[in-house]
Amino acid sequence: MMNKDLPRWATAFVMPVLNLLSAMLVTALVIHLLGESPTESLAILVNSAVVNPEGLSYTLFYASTFIFTGLAVSIAMQAGLFNIGAEGQMYVGGLGLTWAMLAFDSSLPAWALIPLGVLGAAVFGALWSFLPGYLQAKRGSHVVVTTIMFNFIASQLMNFLIVKYMIPAGEQNPASRAFAAAAEMPRLNQWFPVLGETPFNISFFLAIIALVIYGVVVSRSAWGFKLRATGLNQHAAHYAGIRISKMIIIVMLISGALAGLGAVNSIMGSTHYLSLNFVGGAGFIGIAIALMGRQHPVGIFLSAVLFGALTQGGFDLSLEKQNIPPETVILIQGLIILFCGAMENLYAPAIAKVLNLRK
């Protein structure tokens, strides 16, 4: 029995869970070698990220951003493209959002300003992904190479623009001025005080809406069928009448727009200004989420929440356990990427053998 012949429940649920458990076991071994108890460390992480209401709100706040970057990578994967440029696309999306806010936050009400900021983030993220998509479709330049390059270009471009033009006079912090109150995403603690003073905001619901739209479009629409056909076999899709180059460009535009939307939660929902390196690796985490979630909306959501919990719980874990450095969270993320990405089929032969024995 080949991997492709395994039942859906095995590839979509059992294998990701086994891969995640493998990553956690290796992490437990590392924590033990650092001189700390793995069970105590896990208890601290779970309590900080899930059990505590304030911690849970931080977990879902981080997950809101990760859902968008996970969707950005996932929809490109559906077309057979590996867009690893979500980091740069989210960065530039933040620029579009900020320019809209700086231009209109003193003249427009919140009901017009917030949609304008969302639109600015999506448009600038899409524009940043256009050239890699065009080069892949028309010139055969591999999207992995071009999106890596564009991540570095975005970083240097943002550094130049923020430091040169956006720092207010007399300020030293490399960031734009703060937006007006009308540009702030409403926070959920206004209606649920138990969540505490956290930046958890309505961007979470925007992320859920994006997940639902993604799921419906990819699996329930004619365009989604063409998208998946392109990813499975471009030659067959071409002979079926699908314009491959057009599909690649459109998918990359959508992917970039989704990555750009990740900036909405981070900027309009939290800092309320554009700062250097505000992305903080969220674009790369999106790769792990897409791999672990198998490009399925439910899997993307659960993976985003998991990485949000690791981000939130890792802070408290490093504070309470002196021997565990903050970089441990990066180690865990790397192990998840290793087992769910490069070694995603590690347990496939064993599962196939068990299924064959049951026949």
How far apart (Å, rounded) are the C-alpha atoms in residues 168 and 145?
36
How far apart (Å, rounded) are the C-alpha atoms in residues 113 and 99?
12
Q: Which two tokens stand for residue 272?
A: 């309320």
How far apart (Å, rounded) are the C-alpha atoms in residues 293 and 312?
20
CA dihedral 318, 325, 69, 82 (to 10 degrees): -150
Q: How far is CA 81 from CA 212, 223, 259, 319, 339, in A?
A: 21, 16, 15, 40, 21
Amino acid at 257: A
| H helix count then E strand count, the chain | 15, 0
53-57: long-range contacts, CB 8 A cutoff, minimum separation 24: 53/194, 53/195, 53/196, 54/195, 54/196, 54/197, 54/198, 55/312, 55/313, 55/316, 56/195, 57/188, 57/189, 57/195, 57/196, 57/198, 57/200
pLDDT of residue 357: 66
Q: Count up the domains in the chain and report the number.
A: 1
In a domain, 37, yes or no: no
In a domain, 34, yes or no: no
Judge whether 167 and 249 are in contact, CB under 8 Å: no
- Least Cα distance to 266 among 207, 315, 306 occurs for 207
| pLDDT per residue of the chain (359 residues) written in tens, 0 to 9 | 445 677 878 887 888 888 889 999 999 999 999 899 999 999 999 999 999 999 999 999 999 999 999 999 999 999 999 999 999 999 999 999 999 999 999 999 999 999 999 999 999 999 999 999 999 999 999 999 999 999 999 999 999 999 999 999 888 899 999 999 999 999 999 999 998 899 999 999 999 999 999 999 999 999 999 999 999 999 999 999 999 999 999 999 999 999 999 999 999 999 999 999 999 999 999 998 998 888 999 999 999 999 999 999 988 888 888 888 888 888 888 888 888 877 878 888 888 888 886 65
Cα diameter, the chain: 75
Helices (H), 242-281: 244-263
In a domain, 133, yes or no: yes
Q: Which two tokens stand for residue 77?
A: 């994967």
Judge whether 130 and 249 are in contact, CB under 8 Å: yes
Judge whether 311 and 62 are in contact, CB under 8 Å: yes
In a domain, 118, yes or no: yes
Judge whether 289 and 259 are in contact, CB under 8 Å: no
Judge whether 146 and 82 are in contact, CB under 8 Å: no
- Least Cα distance to 122 among 146, 101, 97, 141 occurs for 97
How far apart (Å, rounded) are the C-alpha atoms in residues 339 and 180?
44
In a domain, 192, yes or no: no
Judge whether 125 and 260 are in contact, CB under 8 Å: yes
Q: What domain range is 126 assigned to?
A: 47-186+198-355
pLDDT of residue 2: 47
Instruction: Say which CATH number the domain at 135 has.
Output: 1.10.3470
Tell me which DSSP letter residue 109 carries: -
Neighbours of 165 (CB within 10 A): 8
Judge residue 1's burial from the number of C-beta atoms within 10 Å of its C-beta, 0-12 exposed, 13-18 middle, 19 or more buried. middle
pTM score, whole prediction: 0.93
In a domain, 250, yes or no: yes
Collapsed DSSP state (helix, strand, coil) of residue 187: strand
In a domain, 209, yes or no: yes
In a domain, 211, yes or no: yes
pLDDT of residue 359: 59
